[in-house]
Structure 1
Amino acid sequence: MKKKWLGLLLPVFGIIIGVLSERVDKKEAKAPSVNTYIKSVTLKDFSIEVMSENSENQILVNYPKTKSKKINQRLESFLRDELSSFKKASLENNLREKGSFFQSFETYELSPDIVSFKFNVMRKNSPLLQTESQVITKTYDLKEEKELQISDLLKEKEDLQSISKYIYDKFSKEQRYSTQKAKAVLQSGLKAVEQNFNTFVLNNNSLVFYFDPHQINRDTKNYVQVSLPLRELGEVVTPRILVEHLKGEAEKSKVKIPSARQVRNKQLASKKLVALTFDDGPDPQTTPRLLSILKKENVPATFFILGNRLALYPEIVKQEYKLGHQVGSHTFNHLNLPQLPMKEVQEEIKNTADLVQKTLGIAPQGLRPPYGATTPEINAQAQTPIIQWSVDSLDWKSKNADQIEQVVMNEVYDGSIILMHDIYDSSVDGAEKVIKKLKRQGYTFVTVNQLIEARGKLENSQVYFNATR
C-alpha cells in the first residue's frame, strides 16, 4: 500500500464526510463522540501516517507514528491485520460494489512514557450492507516499548473485581437498569475478566473504558464510555500510573475505590483467623504432598524457604506461589544470624531474596530468621516484615502427628501464627489433622500477610508474633 497525504472527500454511505488529519497541542486534544468518524488527533511528539486505496475498495486509514521503531512495527502490523480481515470478508461475500474502510485515531497521554491511541473504525463490505463501527484501543509504555493490558495497570489481578463492582454499583442505580433482566446484562458485561475491560485509554486524569454495543445495555447500538478519575483509583493502580500531581490527589481523594486486598481484609477482620507457616523447605518428597493436602482443603499457607533448597528445587516453590501461598525467606543456609558478621548476615538475606526474585518475579514476602534469632540491626537489613510465631508445634522434636495436633490445639487462639516444617512426613500428617480440627472449631486459614493486614498494618523491619484483634 502506498503512503500519501490526502485532502479529498469520499462518498460514504450516501453522505459526504470530510476526512482530515491534523496535529494539535495537548490542551486541544479533546475526546469527541465515540460513534462518529472524526478527524485524527495527535500530540506534538507523534505524527500521523496515511494509507489509502481506491481500487477494489475505498480505504482511507490514519495511524500514529511514535519515536519507537518497535512500537511502530506493531502498529503497522495491527493495521495490516485489520485490512486483511476486511478484504478477506469482502472477497468471501463476492460483492461487486466497492466496500469501504475508514480509520482515524485520537491520542491521549498520561505521561511522557505512557500513551494511548483510540482508533475509530468504520467498515462496510458493500454500500448495500450495514455500517460496522468499532473502537479499538492501544496503550503503550514507550520506555519499555511494551503494550499495556488492564492487568498491567493494577496492583493485583483481583483489583479488576473492585473496578467492576464500582462501575456496576454506579450504573445499577439508573432507571434503565431497574429491571432484573437489565441488571443481569449489566452484571454479565462487567464480569471481572480482562476481555471485558481491555478497551481503554489513559489520559492525564482518567482511566476511560469503552464497552461494546450491547455489552452492558441491550437497548443501545452505541459504545458506552465510562471515565474513572485516577485520583479515585489510588488503591488499585500501580504507583507508576499515579504520575506528577495524581499521587497527591489520590491520597486526598474522598472517594477511593477499595483494592481487592482491602475488601478481603475487611471481610476477614471479624473472623477467627489462623496462619499456618512451614519452614526449612522445599523438600521433593514431603512438600508436594503437603501442597496436595492444602489444595484439597482450600487452605492458604506461608512457606519460609531456604535459599540453598530453592536453588535445588525451584519448581516446587513456583508451585507454592502458583497455588496462592505466600513465599518468604528463611535465609540461605539456616545460620544463627546474630552470631555472624553483618556482612554475612546481609549475604544470607540478599542471596535468598535475589533467588526468589529470579524464580518468582517477586521479593520474599517476609523474613523468618532461623531459630527466631535476630536483632534490631538485622531486622533493618531485611527490608521486609520479620515473622516470628506464637504457637510452636514442636514437630521437629516429636515427629509424631498426634502429638503435633495436641500441642497446636492446646495453644492455638484467634490470630495465631503456627510454626511447622514441611520437611517431615509426620509434620505433613500433623498439619492435615490440625487443619481439619481447626476448621471444625470455626477457624479461617489465611497467609501471614493476610492475617496481619486484617488486624493492623504490615511494615518492613517490624516484628510480628501474632495478630490479635
Structure 2
Amino acid sequence: MQMKKIRWLVLCILALCLFIPAGIAERAIPEVLKVTQEVKCYRAKGYRIITYSELHSTREDVNDLINGRVAALKEEAEAVVPEGRDYNKRCAHADIYTQITRTGDRWLSFHVCAQTSAKSSQNWVKCEDYTYDMESGRLIRLGDIICEEGWEKLLHEIRIQVEESFPEDKPDEQALDAICSRESLTEAGFIMTPGHLALFFPAADVYPAHAEALLRVEIYVPELWEILTEEGRKETDCTGYKLVALTYDDGPGKGTTRGVLSSSVRHPGQVTFFATGHRLEENAEMLHLEFDAGHSVQSHTWAHATKGVTTEKVTDWETQYNKAMGSIIGKLPIMMRPPGGNWRGYVNSGTELAQILWDTNSTDSSAGEGKQDMLGCCGRASIACDGSIVLFHDVKIYAGDLAERSMRLFEQENMLIVTVNDLCALRGISLKAGTVLQNCPPEEAEVSMQAHR
C-alpha cells in the first residue's frame, strides 16, 4: 500500500512538470558571471573624499586590467578634484568606480567612470568601457557585434540621440560627424545590459559648454537585435533570467543617494531613479553620478503634487523639469513616477510620460529610522518576483544599507537587477503616453487605463 502511494505521488509530480510552461524555467547566473567589488574610501588633504572600487571576478587578467584602469583614472581625478570647505556637506569628492552588467552566459560589461565634484557641481568626468567574454578572457569591441547591414542604422541612431541631447544647445556638426563614423567606432568599447546597448561619449566633444558631462546613446531590444551579429545576439540573450526593477523616489540626496550608488557598484545591474524637481539643481552632481553610471534617471515631477493637478500645472511643471534636467545631464525623461501613485490626474491632464507604479513596496518612506525598521523594509521588498517593480526612497537615512541587503538577496535568487527601461523592453511594453504600469511579469505586463478605472 505504501509503495502504491509513493508511485501515485511520483506520477502526480511528473504530470505537473509536464504542464509547467517552458517560459518560466529559471535560469541561474553562471559562475563566470559572479563578481564582487569592494568600495573603498579615504580622506585627502583639502577636505577631499576619494572613493573607488576594486574588482574581484573569476579572471585575474580581467581584475588586473579593470583595477589598473581604476587606479589610473583615480590618479587623474586626484589631480583635478577641487578643495572642499569641510568634511560635512561642503567637502569635495572624487568618485572612481566600475559599474558592471551581466548578459547571456559569458559576457560582463565594465563601465569604468571617474568624476570630481564640489559645491553641488560636477567639475570633471572621464569614462572607459570594456566588455569581456569571461570564459575565454577575450575583449569584445563594438565592431565584433555589429553586423554589416547594422552599421548604417547604428550610426543614424547615434546621430539622432546626440542631436537630441542638451535641448537648449546646438551640437558641433563637425565633431558630430567625427563620432558618427564607422572608423571611429569599430574599435570602441561599449556596455551591454540585458535590454540595451549603451555607448558613452564626452559631451565636450560635441557640446563644448558641457565639459563636465557625458553623452549616452542607448539602443534597446527589439531594435538592437536587428543590428547585432549572431554572436552578439547569442551572448546578450537573457531569456529565462528572472528580472527585477529597483526604483528610488524623492531624491537625489547627497549621502543617502551615494549609499545606493555604492551598493549598485557592489552588485551588478542598474536601477531607476525618479528624481524630484526641487532637488535637481541643488544636487546636480548626484544626477551626474546616477546618469554617468548608466542608471535610468526619470521624473518624480517638479512639484511632487498628489492632488490639484491640472493641465496648466502639468504643462508648467514639465517645462520646468525638462529645462533643469536637460541642462544638467542633457537627457529628458520618458517616464514618471506619480507622487503617491496618483496617476489619473497627470494622465487626464495630458502628460506625455508613461506612468510607472509598483507592485512591491518596501514601505521605507513610512518606516522608522532604526535597524529593525530597515530589516522590515528589506523583508517586504524581498517578496518581489520576476517582473516586479520595487519601490524604495533614496533619501532615507539607511537607503544605502537597505539597497545593499536587497540587492544581495535578489542576486542570491538569480535575479538580474535592471532598469524599468530594460524591463519594459525585454517584456515588450511600450512606454507611450497613457501607459500605466505596475509590473512586467513574463506572461502579461501592460496594465491598461481601463483596468485601473
TM-score grouping bracket, smaller chain normalisation: 0.3 to 0.5
TM-score, with structure 1 as normaliser:
0.46
TM-score, with structure 2 as normaliser:
0.47
Higher relative contact order (CA 8 A, sep 6+): 2
Instruction: Choose 1 or 2 for highest CA Rg.
Output: 1
